[in-house]
Chain A
Amino acid sequence: MSERAELLRMSGVCKSYGVGTPVAAEVLHSVDLAIGQGEFVALIGPSGSGKSTLLNIIGLLEPMSSGEYLLQGRSVASLSDTELTRCRSDTLGFVFQFHHLLPAFSALENVLMPAMIRTGRFSDADRQHGLSLLDRVGLKAAADKKPGELSGGMQQRVAIARALVRSSPLVLADEPTGNLDTHSADEVFALMRQFNRDEGTTFLIVTHDPRLAQRCDRIVELVDGRVRPTDVHDMAASKA
């Protein structure tokens, strides 16, 4: 890990909800986390441990309450909503648990959506790029199909292609295989692994599945809103 350039670093990140109300709750307590470029990291932990919240904060979808978060060396705490959105668009790809494709658009258009948001159109060059990505996830033939016509595993593969269309350095996946059968889950996982290897894309994968977590480079375990330090070192050591 030491030889890798650092992609993100969090120190002392806290997140509380409902501050100032009787139901105030601190979900994350002083999280420290660093991820290097090209890493393939699993984020595990029991339900309610704050995994999704942490992923949202890393994904710039939610602000943190306190602490410091550097993404590609840039502190995000002071960025405006528009700057955060631009940063998200340039740096991050998302794969959600429920695949979250836009039902009104074809598989190819879904893949191209992050690019279209920036350019305002589906250009021919983008289409070619999108098709080659769909080809790589084995869905070139389904390019014109609407998400409703695809199986769960296929939809998740489209989502992966979409997360990679703008060559984002970091892809955040929230239970990407949570709704899939074992075979599809393995396929989806293998695809992410393949892109990690071929493109050097960094993946941070939230998962419940210990089987998949074991196959990552590193496991970060979140318990009660804190990163369990031993696990990080253990996994890193065992991988090395």
Chain B
Amino acid sequence: MGFALTIAIRFLREGRFQSLLIIVGVAAGVAVVTYISALVEGLQGNTIRRTLGTQAHIVVKPFEEKSLPSLVARPGELVARDIQPRAQRPRSIDNWRSLATEIAATPGIVAVTPIAAGAGLAIRGEASRSVAMIGIELDSYDRIVALREKIIEGVARVAPGEAMIGQQLAEDLGVSIGERIVLRTGGEAADTFKVSAIFDLGNRDLNRRNVYITLKSAQSLFNIPGGVTNIYATVTELFSADHTAALLKQRTGADIESWMESNAQLLAALDAQTISTRLIRGFTTLVVMLGIASVLVVSVVQKRKEIGILRAMGATRAQMTRVFLMQGGIVGLVGSVLGAVLAKLLLWAFSMFVLGSDGKPLFMTELPLDLAVTVTLVATMCGVLAAAAPARSAAKLDPAQAIRL
């Protein structure tokens, strides 16, 4: 290897301008691939984070109440019947405590929290708004939806008789911290709550709709004493949520859905983005490899005499092959390291100069180390691969002819 490396480096240094051009070419290609990959990764991560910021990864729902026909047609009979779907009212999940314990014990599940939620009205004086009343245990809920860090006013707390409401709802009803609102369910059950905190979930609709109260208050409002309507859970591996959900569904028989099912459209969009990124990556890689190959093809022609001399002095065909493979590898390695640095600069510039309406960077774009390492390794391998054809022609060169030139 020492021979091949020494000669490869000298050959590259000798063809200074040529080597420089192709290394810059590789760097540009690698920078584009790395930059786009990091950007899309950041964008997708950000999109998912925003989407899941107010969602649980896995949700257990109560079974829907179904109407069953009371008349069954026997063979040979016809039955005229009209089955109306039943109105769904807040219902508790059967045996939710043991179910929650079982889910919490499942590998891959990080946190579990019970929810008692239903629709209703928030009323203050003349103003009323339709809201979703969500009864929570703040500590365990916070581990699933980081509610505490979204509080913009007041104290993150749900005590009996207190409610946390969103920014928009507070504006709509004209309430501030310490003031009271009435929450009423469809079933005429109502209670008065003091506003303990105002939050911003980063989404106006949710800020208008969500009202957080204690689990107990919700249970009594919806008339499901001791019951819960949902169980929320978080997983470690975001994209294995559907597997975990399917597994739990199979094991417990409960109605369990993952975020991947409820956000199928978003995932499809992200997939399309991923495929486009791969295409860009693939074509850029191809162009870079063709560049390396063409430079080395020229180099073999230019170095005919030297190759002949080396062969005459005892270099084998295999050694000459390695000299050129090594050149491809070095170009790939040096180019990709430069490219990674360039990508880092581009990402920095992106986060500095492309700002959202709030003056903050649109989203965090960093160059993940594993991406940089992967790109460098792949580029080096592609360099070696691109050098294969030139290396072959260098090895095939007839030394006697090469020297005569």
Chain A residues whose C-beta falls within 8 Å of the C-beta of B3 in the assembled complex: 116-117, 120
Q: With both chains docked as a complex, state the minimum distance between the C-beta of B62 and any C-beta of chain A, in angstroms.
A: 74
A85 close to B13 (CB less than 8 A) = no
Closest 8 CB pairs of A and B: A89-B314, A120-B2, A61-B400, A104-B10, A104-B14, A56-B400, A114-B313, A62-B400
For window 82-101 of chain A, which residues contact chain B by CB distance below 8 Å? 82, 85-86, 88-90, 94, 96, 100-101
Is the Cβ of A85 less than 8 Å from the Cβ of B2?
no
Pair A100/B10 contact, Cβ less than 8 Å: no
Query: In the complex, A96 Cα to B404 Cα: how many Å?
Result: 9
Q: In the complex, which residues of chain B have a beta carbon less than 8 angstroms from the beta carbon of A103?
A: 14, 306
Q: For B6, list chain A residues within 8 Å (CB).
A: 116, 120-122
CA distance A95 to B14 in the complex (A): 23
Residue from B10, B318, B400 in contact with A105 in the complex, judged by beta carbons closer than 8 Å: B10
* Closest chain A residue to B310, Cβ basis: A117
- The SS class assigned to the B binding surface is helix
A119 contacts across to B, CB distance below 8 A: 2
Determine whether the beta carbon of A118 is less than 8 Å from that of B314: yes
Q: For chain B residues 7-62, which have a beta carbon within 8 Å of chain A? A: 10-11, 13-14
Question: By the criterion CB–CB under 8 Å, are A85 and B317 in contact?
Answer: yes
A102 interfacial by beta-carbon distance below 8 Å: yes
Which single residue of chain B is at the shortest CB-CB distance from A84?
A: B316
> Chain A contacts of B319 at CB under 8 A?
117
Tell me, yes or no, whether A176 is within 8 Å of chain B by CB.
no
Contacts of B127 in A (CB 8 A): none
> Is the CB of B305 closer than 8 A to any CB of chain A?
yes
Is the Cβ of A82 less than 8 Å from the Cβ of B317? yes
1/0 per residue, CB under 8 A from B, across A105-117: the answer is 1000000011011
A43 to chain B, nearest CB (A): 16
Q: Is the CB of B312 within 8 A of A59?
A: yes
Question: How far does the alpha carbon of A229 sit from the alpha carbon of B245 in the complex, in Å?
Answer: 96
Report the minimal beta-carbon distance from B84 to chain A, rounded to whole angstroms. 87
Question: Is A81 interfacial (CB 8 A cutoff)?
Answer: yes
In the bound complex, residues from chain A placing their C-beta under 8 Å from that of B403 are 61, 96, 100
The residues of B that contact A81 with a CB separation of less than 8 Å are 316-317
- Residues of chain A with a CB closer than 8 A to B313's CB: 88-89, 94, 113-114, 117, 162
